[in-house]
Structure 1
Amino acid sequence: MLSLQQLVAKELAEPVHPDVTAFAEHIAAQYGDAASAVLFYGSCLRSEQLTGEMLDFYLIVSSYDAAYQKPWLAKWNRRLPPNVFPFQYQGLMAKVAVLSEDDFHKLNRPSASAVSVWARFSQPSRLVWHRDQETAKKMVLSVSGAAPTLLNAALSHMDREVDVIDLWQSGYAMTYGAELRAERKSRPASVIEFDRDRYQLFGHAALHHTMIPNEIRGERVYLIADPEQRAQKERRRWPALRRRGKLLTVARLAKAAFTYQGGIDYLAWKINRHAGTKLEIKPWQRKWPLVAALFLVPKLLAKGAVR
């Protein structure tokens, strides 16, 4: 059986559509020597549908100061990572999240103060551009922290034993509940059902690296008595993670009003797509996106369009 890092390295190296590679190269070129790597993830990776969709990339940079000419952009990326920007290239659209190498590594680990990065990179992703082989190794090491972090959180809420796939589903349900999300409640299960074999394989490898002791027997996971009560400690921190995650979502929306041109339209598009709503953005809301977001979010919460 391959180790977790070997599995991650193999998955990150899998080929993607040439248009995705070209788009990634274009993104990296905008940041010059500051660009370290570009990773592709999300629904477009799973479906392989590109036209008319919003592709998801993470741009990893050597440092925020090196990445930006405007100091205030570096400051906000450091204080409230990531910054997110819209990109268009050869008829395709994408949103690009920017993180430093250090932040990307830290935010894929259990010590992360929010779930957004490790929840996403416990899912499949591709390293579609990298500066050199040393950087590629760093990306493998960083991404390898994501799956154990998610499964460790899920272990803290399980009974004595659980199926490996059910453990993944529990973990994603927890992370979806720790952010304001427009996706339906069935989304965590659908992500896994797209490639159950992948999650079985990664689950067996990642469970050897969780902090909560466990034993794998076939497709079942069994908790082992933990004298340090690590499961209880992990479980106790989740209410704060959920509160912080939802507050961070609102804060990032507010930040996007200044850093993401057309961000309010993207927000409406994403909510309509995943929640089945017919939200329309008015001219004044485009002019004052921060004020619009402050009005929209409570209404969407009340309607259950975001949770």
Structure 2
Amino acid sequence: MNENVAFKSARLAALAGPCRFDNAEALAPFLTAIKTRHGASVLGVIFYGSCLRSGDIREGLVDFYVVVDDYRRAHDSRLSAAANRLVPPNVYYLEAADAAPNTGADKPSRLRCKYAVISEAELAYGCRDALTSGLWGRLAQPVAIVHARDTVIHERLRMHCGQAVVTLLEESLPVLHAPLAPAEVFARCLALSYGGELRAETDERTTRITAQYSAEYARRARDAIDLLDLAVHIDDRGLMRWQASAARRRQARRLWSARRPIGRLLSVARLSKACFTFGDAVDYGADKLARHTGVTIEVTPRLRRHPLIYGWPVLWRLYRQGVLK
């Protein structure tokens, strides 16, 4: 690695922050089970999402990206490896005994997680070059690297997460109007990213997320400025201003227009695949929908047994009603 590449890699890692979780030892049952399932292929585990933001891993479902070196080594079957390679990532459900259950409980409580298996090569591509925003939109937010094979892998994962910040800003700023406060820049960028997928979350939820960690999002926006291929600066009032050519703005608008249908198609493909890899996928989806939107759906035994047959009318109705966007 030459000196310039090493310097940029260090800058990107710093942009991602320390990537720590203060209660990482509580995740040990998950990490042990994941490494047992996927063996020596596991390079690292990235913790993200609502449980990381709240700090409470006992409420809701913990979200991980499990980064592997090779899909075939990571899976027992060639079919699973091929599915992961064709439409990454594969998503799995896992329960583990709570290492520190509530005292007085009749039986040990269970921790729950879902995790996505992705190769480091796909992670790097997804944070830097992917058209859709699924990876760079998520990993531009604060995450925790709760397992890494060694310190070199740990720093590489931080670098990929820092690259996600750069990609999110470079893809989003040309379609936004300056000036904006740095934290508001991130709120607008994340709203664009969420809009590129089939999701139940609203723009208001994005605003709440960024408001909760406004200082960290502002730091990310400021620290990324000289890594961007745009002319960006902070004015005397602390607001971010940027310039993009008319051609760059037109290209950015076209890309965001394309992301919306493509992202939704990929979301549907991944939902279909999750019916085979994710235990209780229908119940999980119904619970998440109710928590984020207040809309409840009836999970019938028929829907639970055959989601690929009876789930489509439900999804279409929710989409037509504007619940899924």
Q: TM-score range by the shorter chain?
A: over 0.9
What is residue 262 of structure 1 aligned with on the other side? 280
Shift of 1:263: 1.0
Q: How does 1:170-189 map to 2 (within 5 A)?
A: 170-189=188-207
Give the length in aligned residue pairs.
303
Distance in 1 (CA, whole Å) between partners of 2:324 and 2:184 is 24
Give yes or no for contact 1:28–1:38 (8 Å, CA) kept in 2.
no
What is residue 36 of structure 1 aligned with on the other side? 43
What is residue 169 of structure 1 aligned with on the other side? 187
Shift of 1:17: 4.2
Give yes or no for contact 1:87–1:95 (8 Å, CA) kept in 2.
yes
Q: How does 1:233-244 map to 2 (within 5 A)?
A: 233-244=251-262
What is residue 62 of structure 1 aligned with on the other side? 69
Distance in 2 (CA, whole Å) between partners of 1:295 and 1:67 is 34
The partner residue of 2:242 within 218, 223, 232 is: 223
Distance in 2 (CA, whole Å) between partners of 1:113 and 1:25 is 34
The partner residue of 1:11 within 15, 18, 43 is: 18
The unaligned stretches of length 5 or more in structure 1 are none
Deviations 1:124-170 (A, max 9, x none): 11000111112112101211111111112221112343322221111
Partner amino acid for 1:42?
A: G
What is residue 23 of structure 1 aligned with on the other side? 30
Shift of 1:26: 2.8
Question: SS of the counterpart of 1:107?
Answer: helix
- CA RMSD, 1 decimal: 1.8
What is residue 84 of structure 1 aligned with on the other side? 91
Partner amino acid for 1:103?
A: E
Matched, 1:210 2:228: yes
Question: SS of the counterpart of 2:113?
Answer: strand
Shift of 1:98: 0.7
Partner amino acid for 1:15?
A: D
Shift of 1:100: 0.3
Bigger shift: residues 147-156 or 205-214:
205-214
Matched, 1:103 2:122: yes
Partner amino acid for 1:163?
A: A
What is residue 47 of structure 1 aligned with on the other side? 54
Change (3 A) 1:113 1:79: farther
Partner amino acid for 1:87?
A: L
Identity of matched residues, % = 30
Matched, 1:253 2:271: yes
Distance in 2 (CA, whole Å) between partners of 1:224 and 1:275 is 37
Give yes or no for contact 1:275–1:306 (8 Å, CA) kept in 2.
no
Bigger shift: residues 239-248 or 19-28:
19-28
Bigger shift: residues 48-57 or 242-251:
48-57
Distance in 2 (CA, whole Å) between partners of 1:45 and 1:22 is 16
What is residue 172 of structure 2 aligned with on the other side? 154
Give yes or no for contact 2:70–2:119 (8 Å, CA) kept in 1.
yes
Question: SS of the counterpart of 1:89?
Answer: strand
What is residue 290 of structure 1 aligned with on the other side? 308
Matched, 1:271 2:272: no
Shift of 1:293: 2.3
Give yes or no for contact 2:12–2:158 (8 Å, CA) kept in 1.
no
Distance in 1 (CA, whole Å) between partners of 2:264 and 2:256 is 12
Question: SS of the counterpart of 1:171?
Answer: helix
Give yes or no for contact 2:230–2:244 (8 Å, CA) kept in 1.
no
